[in-house]
C-alpha cells in the first residue's frame, strides 16, 4: 500500500508515524502534490492552528488538491477541522469538504478549554460501527464540529459534538487515534481496510 501523510510544518506526524509503524504499515510524509495524489490512501494529521495551516496548504497548492482526492483520506483533529467549511479559529475559510462550521468551546462551570483527556464515543456507525465499536478515545482540542449529517460518532464535552465524520471517501476523527491505545489502533486499522 502506498500511504501518504500530509506534511504542513505542524501537526503530529511523528506520533502518527509511530502508530503506523506499530501496525507494520509503510508510508511517506510529504507535502508534494504529485506524491499525495498518487497515494493509495492519505492521512491528514493535525495539531496546530487553522489559519497558518491553510496558508501553507495554499502555498503548496494542496488546498485545491485535497478536496478532489478520490482515494480514502483520513483527517485527524485539526485535519478534520480543516476539512470543514469554516473555522472560528482566526475566522479561517477551510477546505469545504464537509459543509459545516468549526466552533470554539465556550468554558462553562468546571469545564476547561481546551478539552483534554479521554472521552467515550457514542452513536458510532458507518466505518466505525463495524463489529464492536470503539469506546474511549483521547482528545486535545479547543474547537469542535457540531453534530451534523456526516457525523458517525459523537462525544460530549460542554456540548455534544462530532467525534468522527464521513462523506464519501473522506473520513475524519476529532480525537487522536495515534494516542488512543487499542481503540486508536482499531480506528487506524479500519481506515486502512476501507
Q: Could you give the CA distance from residue 135 to residue 137 in angstroms, rounded to a whole number?
A: 7
The grid coordinates of residue 11 equal 501537526
Query: Using a CB cutoff of 8 Å and minimum separation of 24, what contacts does 105-108 make?
Result: 105/142, 105/143, 105/144, 105/157, 105/158, 105/159, 106/158, 107/158, 108/158
Please give the tally of structural domains in the chain.
1
Report the pLDDT value the prediction gives residue 47, as an integer from 0 to 100. Answer: 85
Report the pLDDT value the prediction gives residue 134, as an integer from 0 to 100. Answer: 65
Answer yes or no: are the C-beta atoms of 85 and 99 closer than 8 Å: yes
Apex 74 CA angle, 160 and 193, nearest 5: 110
Q: Which domain holds residue 68?
A: 3-193
**Which residues on neighbouring strands pair with residue 143, listed in sequence order?**
104
Q: Could you give the CA distance from residue 62 to residue 69 in angstroms, rounded to a whole number?
A: 10
The grid coordinates of residue 104 equal 470554539
Report the pLDDT value the prediction gives residue 9, as an integer from 0 to 100. Answer: 72
- Spell out where 12-158 has E strands: 28-30, 41-44, 73-76, 84-87, 92-93, 98-104, 115-120, 136-141, 143-144, 151-157
pTM of the model: 0.95
Q: Could you give the CA distance from residue 17 to residue 142 in angstroms, rounded to a whole number?
A: 24
pLDDT along the chain (194 residues), means of 10: 88 86 92 96 92 94 96 97 97 98 93 94 83 80 97 95 97 95 92 92
Q: What is the DSSP letter of 107?
A: P
CATH number at residue 66: 3.40.50.880
Q: Could you give the CA distance from residue 155 to residue 118 in angstroms, rounded to a whole number?
A: 10
Q: How do the residues of the chain divide into helix, strand and coil, expressed in percent and rounded to 5?
A: 30, 35, 35
Report the pLDDT value the prediction gives residue 131, as an integer from 0 to 100. Answer: 57
Pairing verdict, β 115-120 and 136-141: antiparallel
Report the pLDDT value the prediction gives residue 130, as an integer from 0 to 100. Answer: 61
**Which residues on neighbouring strands pair with residue 115, listed in sequence order?**
141
Q: Which residues are catalytic?
A: 77, 176, 178
Report the pLDDT value the prediction gives residue 15, as an integer from 0 to 100. Answer: 87
Amino acid at each position: 500500500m502506498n500511504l501518504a501523510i500530509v506534511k504542513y510544518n505542524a501537526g503530529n506526524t511523528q506520533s502518527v508515524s509511530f502508530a503506523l509503524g506499530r501496525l507494520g504499515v509503510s508510508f511517506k510524509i510529504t507535502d508534494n502534490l504529485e506524491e499525495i495524489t498518487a497515494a493509495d490512501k492519505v492521512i491528514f494529521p493535525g495539531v496546530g492552528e487553522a489559519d497558518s495551516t491553510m496558508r501553507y496548504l495554499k502555498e503548496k497548492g494542496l488546498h485545491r488538491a485535497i478536496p478532489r482526492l478520490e482515494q480514502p483520506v483520513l483527517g485527524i483533529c485539526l485535519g478534520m477541522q480543516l476539512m470543514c467549511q469554516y473555522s472560528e479559529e482566526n475566522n479561517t475559510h477551510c477546505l469545504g469538504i464537509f459543509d459545516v462550521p468549526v466552533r470554539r468551546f465556550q468554558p462553562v462551570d468546571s469545564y476547561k478549554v481546551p478539552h483534554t483527556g479521554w472521552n467515550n464515543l457514542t452513536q458510532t456507525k458507518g466505518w466505525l460501527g463495524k463489529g464492536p465499536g470503539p469506546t474511549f478515545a483521547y482528545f486535545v482540542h479547543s474547537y469542535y464540529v457540531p453534530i451534523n449529517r456526516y457525523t458517525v460518532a459523537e462525544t460530549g464535552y460542554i456540548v455534544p459534538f462530532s467525534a468522527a465524520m464521513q462523506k464519501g471517501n473522506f473520513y475524519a476523527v476529532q480525537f487522536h487515534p495515534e494516542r488512543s491505545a487499542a481503540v486508536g489502533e482499531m480506528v487506524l486499522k479500519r481506515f486502512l481496510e476501507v
